[in-house]
Structure 1
């Protein structure tokens, strides 16, 4: 999260929200006609342009149609579904939950017939600025990274889908990373938030034995063990590794399903680092670091989201300010090769996601207030713009859910 964006977002969070104590689901919303073959999607947004969480209908060609607003939680920019898509969890990046200085987490039951949401409960996120949430592979715990405070936490998920009291809360500390990213391209002014701890993501390895959290401000990737019976986190050995370069700003990562590698984007340096994952010890070992930008680009850009193709052969990375998506081929040894770079047709892409059928990629363009759709060539992974735009105020994330009878 770059400094100007951080400041703008959190100013918008504070303004007009000081009297809010609870964030209700919209009432009296008429259900839409959803057929058994329909796929739906939830889109999370930032205020003031976004109003909360929207439900979208997804046609067979991947085109999106805004259906209704299903939650008006302010700054509901981070969402995740549980393993069977029966519950949706929302992190609200308000700065004053219950009159304090933290954000909130809200649990909803999902109506798979019409996509509506029923609020179960809400809890304190145990830190300021919850910018990422994920579900442990066993489905029993919700994990949260709080960017502003630099804390992470785990919460038990009760049998009814509601959230319990926090099982673990960890606050990172240490010397801030370098103010200027050493590996950034010439002319870059991507200098932000190296002023203290800023947890940016938290997630598990596929087997659920280890937890990893990135800290952009301290230039660290933390390595944790988790007790799968109670959700308690403990430091692994070593407890963290340094970012691939000074001031890199580690942001988001994905585990490859088969090749034992982790791919991580560094926001400030706009680089992409490949780590070898030791399944026994949980240790990450750096293998390769390359630019997420096309050769020859000079100036400022901030890397943001990344997503793996369903066949595991391709990786797509979003570049903000450069406003592009870089397509990388994943080689047999896990290394990456840049294949192509394409314009997002939007401004300041926060995340990129792939449809359940693997045929479409979508870019959440925060500043241009739209979602753009690209087709994915099944033979080589190449992206082609479909000329489809979906208007949404400040989109941040999108999750898909298929209707079940």
Structure 2
């Protein structure tokens, strides 16, 4: 990466551009949507790798277009928007990361396979302006920082535990049951030890955040974009037993973020002080219908490009929870839509923001939805796409390769 990209003004400009690209964009009136492909990874042994589909931009429907073999459970996929045509896979079952390049015909070519640095890599994200990637590990509760070369290949920089293991109090886990969860819930998924579930840089690139499901904490580190080093960690304690999982920043106001708690099935509305990185919680509301009782595991969280809506996935209730975001960022639950399958683990928007792809893991399919731009509500678009044990989908523009 050229040295001038590390200048503060250049970093800020590129971060804003990349932030816009990271969220779905609404097509201009009369413009033809760009063709794109959808790549889906999942869990072995039924999932055999990364399944590629050609999308019809007019209907959102998918057509099978190939399989890239990968027997190591590629459960998280991340496209590199700064270098179109590159795709990264975190292989949860293999403790590794794969780097792929999309060919002219859409097929994926493996460029690199390397150890991820810990046990059970469950997520992968890219810094918005500096050449680094972040891989959190569920099994070993460690954050790997990897440097990206000009061709997209990775090399290890550092491995950071989510807590200080020399201080037992720092690594103490939360209660097995969420105090803010629904009555009768047996959503017991990971409070026997620390478990890092997601890591993401702030849009300005100054901090890196990671959720620890076992400790009920959201960690924040200052980040050095030159060396890839992390500074002193600070934590936000969440409600006991909540099990923080995935989080997103507000696309119009990066001081606000939203975090989905897996075991409590709640959405936490958070505030970040931009200079210190200090977090505070403003509210916590359920992702389930009023009166729900029993067990549910919340999963993925997606924000619309205009910052008006949030979409949370509920596993066992098998729904898309739709939240409207007020002008001040306050979330309000407005609807639930059945995912047309069982155990929705993740979802992605199409590049135009009209189509929404939900990975129903236990139903072995991806369900296609259309999202109304005015109301934010998803409706089933009439297609089930067979994929064995799907865990994550990623969208790439057709023919985008370098």
Tell whether the structures are fold-level matches, with TM greater than 0.5: yes
Q: Distance in 1 between matches of 2:85 and 2:71?
A: 19
Report what 1:89 is aligned to. 88
Q: Distance in 1 between matches of 2:332 and 2:161?
A: 36
Q: Distance in 2 between matches of 1:69 and 1:39?
A: 16
Report what 1:66 is aligned to. 64
- Alpha-carbon contact 1:268-1:303 (below 8 Å) kept: yes
1:86 Cα deviation after fit = 2.6
The aligned length equals 358
1:37 Cα deviation after fit = 4.9
Instruction: Describe how 1:216-365 pairs up with structure 2 within 5 A.
Output: 216-236=213-233, 239-243=234-238, 245-259=239-253, 260-365=255-360
Give a deviation string over 1:178-227, Cα, whole Å, max 9, x none. Answer: 11110011111112210111000000111111100000011111101111
Q: Distance in 2 between matches of 1:387 and 1:187?
A: 34
Q: Distance in 2 between matches of 1:139 and 1:347?
A: 38
Secondary structure of 2:351's counterpart equals coil
Residue 146 of structure 1 pairs with residue 140 of structure 2: no
Give a deviation string over 1:339-398, Cα, whole Å, max 9, x none. Answer: 111111100000121111111111100000011111111111111112211110011111
Report what 1:108 is aligned to. 100
Give a deviation string over 1:93-121, Cα, whole Å, max 9, x none. Answer: 225xxxxxxx011212222x212222222
Report what 2:211 is aligned to. 214
Secondary structure of 2:336's counterpart equals strand
- Alpha-carbon contact 2:251-2:306 (below 8 Å) kept: no
Secondary structure of 1:197's counterpart equals coil
* Runs of 5+ unmatched residues, structure 1: 1-35, 96-102
- Alpha-carbon contact 2:44-2:71 (below 8 Å) kept: no
Which structure exhibits the higher relative contact order, with contacts defined as CA atoms closer than 8 Å and separated by 6 or more residues? 2
Q: Distance in 2 between matches of 1:156 and 1:269?
A: 35
- Alpha-carbon contact 2:187-2:263 (below 8 Å) kept: yes
Q: Distance in 1 between matches of 2:350 and 2:109?
A: 25
- Normalising by structure 2, we get a TM-score of 0.86
Give a deviation string over 1:27-78, Cα, whole Å, max 9, x none. Answer: xxxxxxxxx9531111111112211101110002101112110232421111
CA-based RMSD: 1.4
- Normalising by structure 1, we get a TM-score of 0.86
Report what 1:25 is aligned to. none
Secondary structure of 2:362's counterpart equals coil
- Alpha-carbon contact 1:53-1:73 (below 8 Å) kept: no
Residue 169 of structure 1 pairs with residue 159 of structure 2: yes
- Alpha-carbon contact 1:108-1:162 (below 8 Å) kept: no
- Alpha-carbon contact 2:345-2:360 (below 8 Å) kept: yes
Give a deviation string over 1:212-247, Cα, whole Å, max 9, x none. Answer: 0000011111101111012111224xx11111x110
